Amino acid sequence: MATQTFPDTHTTTVTTSATRVSTNIRFDPEYVKIIPGILKISQCVVSIIGFIAITASCHGYCFGGASWYGFVSMTAFWVTLVLLGFYLFHLIEKLYFLPWIQAEGIYCAIWTLFYFIAALVVLVQSHGNGGFITGGFFGFIAMLLYGADAFFKYRAWQGGEIAQGERKTTTSTSPTNVSTAYPGY
């Protein structure tokens, strides 16, 4: 029987991850200049415009589709405005132990679906009403904005990012000499 030999060297890979967060509350106006901040501001603006268009065109009566649209747009507006405030004042970073990216990703995915349904309903029931058509248009824009935000949150979650702060991952590979002789069998 031939003797079995093992290599004299093997490769060792070490991956280290360092998370750095600052837990003090501070105002950061730079947040509105990056993509997540721009998305949140756009979502708030589009939500309030759609809500105003639908509400102004009700003429004293609102049917179920307009009420549903009002619920979707106002909930989206207030929740997104609160999240924007949390990011602007680094409250997200203070509460870094919560799974913000997953929670926001789920919220954005649900509101993408809700806006799709609400916009479709008011457009189908518009009967030429300009306010409903405008609301439906802005509803579809909001759907795209929330869908893009959900996509970015999903990619951030897959990449192991945190919502606010820094996480650096370094990988180092080095050959290691092994001087132990293994007996053959």
Task: Give the H/E segment covering residue 177.
Answer: strand 166-177
CA angle, 95 then 100 then 103, to 5°: 140
pLDDT at 6: 56
* 5-58: pLDDT as tens digits: 655 565 666 555 555 666 777 888 898 999 999 999 999 999 999 999 998 887
- CB-facing half-sphere around the CA of 115: CA atoms within 13 A: 30
Check: pTM over 0.95? Answer yes or no. Answer: no
The conformation of residue 145, written as its DSSP 8-state character, comes to H
The conformation of residue 24, written as its DSSP 8-state character, comes to S
pLDDT at 61: 64
* 51-76: pLDDT as tens digits: 999 988 876 567 778 889 999 999 99
* 127-179: pLDDT as tens digits: 878 888 999 999 999 999 999 999 999 999 998 887 776 645 556 666 665 55
CA angle, 5 then 9 then 10, to 5°: 105
